[in-house]
Amino acid sequence: MRALILTNEFPPEIYGGAGVHVDELTRHLRELIELDIRTFGSASAEADGWRVRGYPPTADLAATDERLRPMLAAFSRDLGMLADPVEADVVHVHTWYTHLAGILVRLAYDIPLVLTVHSLEPLRPWKREQLGGGYDVSSWVERTAIETADAVIAVSRGTRDDVRRLFEVPEERVHVIHNGIDPDFYRSDPATDALARLGIDPAVPYVLFVGRITRQKGIVHLVRALRHLDPGIGVVLCAGQPDTPEIAREMEIGVQAAQAERSNVVWIGEMVSREEVRQLYSRAAVFCCPSVYEPFGIINLEAAACETPVVASAVGGIPEVVVDGETGLLVPVELSVDDPMLPIDPDRFELNLAGAINALMADASTREVMGRAGRRRAVEHFSWDSIARQTADLYRTLVD
């Protein structure tokens, strides 16, 4: 069996949870089947049963509207992926950037199309701020691919329910295969050299955020919630890659205001290594995920595997990762029908976030118990070996 994997992220170019997913999944799948991986990055490798190739844009986009360039560059790469001969039994696509290529490969080579849902465009309307009319195009290609695919993999039950609600897909075509964790890598790390380099005092208990600066991740709500935190709590925001200049400026203003009121707020805007992130997770007293939309929330799993309790919003697939009262605390949030990126009562959401963080920060014994329970759950329920086997088994049912 050979699978053609199409992705916009692959090592060394990884910037989000979907890239981590593809990296780990393919690393474990290669032990089971042959893989042909085609990516937007610069990766290049070849071995027995394993081929990786990066595809640059093939069109000149110099005169294109800046907000349309990501969409057109993606489609240009998709055509390059299709132009190379395909010798595979199944094609598997990740994120809307590669959906067009997946549809065309399915039609041109008459092989089954598998699509993993990492997020859904209808639930990310703020992307219009970044992509303009490109958001309508990405929404169209996503809908076409999901409703065409022979199998749709949802990374959580919450995501499965969203797919069934928003798209015309027969129930039997939607399969839940959770995201996973590498527990051998993500484990408590006693080192502190990364903290010293980044200007973090390891003697001050801190709450940690890790993620991109987007509406989806709720980072602005966490920054506003800092005014409600107990003064002795340190804050580390490992947050970069803003989606737009507008949210970048909003973040800057919020952090500057917080730093004017408290001296223990550290903002890390640079990209840091996985090893450094592991240290940040391991030394944090609490990890916070304030997302307003999160199909799974792999960062919560990474923190839990490092024995750090989690405070997270109760949205999407997060309640399938964070067990309220056992591995962390869940904060309810009611979102606007007109704008699903906006809480109906943002002040209350921010106050509740701070309240949950304050409660755990004040109770070291509970944090320790939750940390051990989180590690145990990550190891027992979210193994990449199991996820790879489930994925390969799904391929075989389609080919058979």
Rounded distance, CA 142 to CA 97, Å?
9
Position 211 in a domain: yes
Q: Are residues 155 and 244 in the same domain?
A: no
Position 206 in a domain: yes
Position 185 in a domain: no
DSSP classification of residue 68: G
CATH number, domain of 364, equals 3.40.50.2000
pLDDT 10s digit of each residue in the chain, 400 long?
Answer: 999 999 999 988 887 788 889 999 999 999 999 999 999 988 889 998 999 999 998 888 889 888 899 899 999 999 999 999 999 999 999 999 999 999 999 999 999 999 999 989 988 887 887 788 889 999 999 999 999 999 999 999 999 999 999 999 999 999 999 988 888 999 999 999 999 999 999 899 999 999 989 888 999 999 999 999 999 999 999 999 888 888 899 999 999 999 999 989 999 998 899 899 999 999 999 999 999 988 888 899 999 999 999 999 999 889 999 999 999 999 999 987 777 778 889 999 999 999 999 999 999 999 999 999 999 999 988 989 889 999 999 999 999 8
Q: Are residues 349 and 331 in the same domain?
A: yes
Residue 377 has what pLDDT?
94
Q: Are residues 153 and 268 in the same domain?
A: no
Query: Cα(first)–Cα(last) distance of the chain, in Å?
Result: 11
Q: Are residues 357 and 392 in the same domain?
A: no
Q: Are residues 372 and 389 in the same domain?
A: no
Q: Are residues 135 and 9 in the same domain?
A: yes
What residues make up the domain containing 97? 2-180+383-399
Residue 227 has what pLDDT?
94
Position 187 in a domain: no
Q: Are residues 62 and 198 in the same domain?
A: no
Position 122 in a domain: yes
Position 86 in a domain: yes
Position 186 in a domain: no
Between the CA atoms of 321, 33, 153 and 94, what dihedral angle is there, to the nearest 10 degrees? 90
Position 203 in a domain: yes
Q: Are residues 155 and 105 in the same domain?
A: yes
Q: How many domains does the chain have?
A: 2
The pTM for the full model equals: 0.79
Q: What is the DSSP string of 118-182?
A: S--GGG-TTHHHHHTTHHHHHHHHHHHHHHH-SEEEESSHHHHHHHHHHS---GGGEEE----B-
Q: Are residues 159 and 95 in the same domain?
A: yes
Q: Are residues 60 and 146 in the same domain?
A: yes
Q: Are residues 34 and 86 in the same domain?
A: yes
Q: Are residues 363 and 392 in the same domain?
A: no
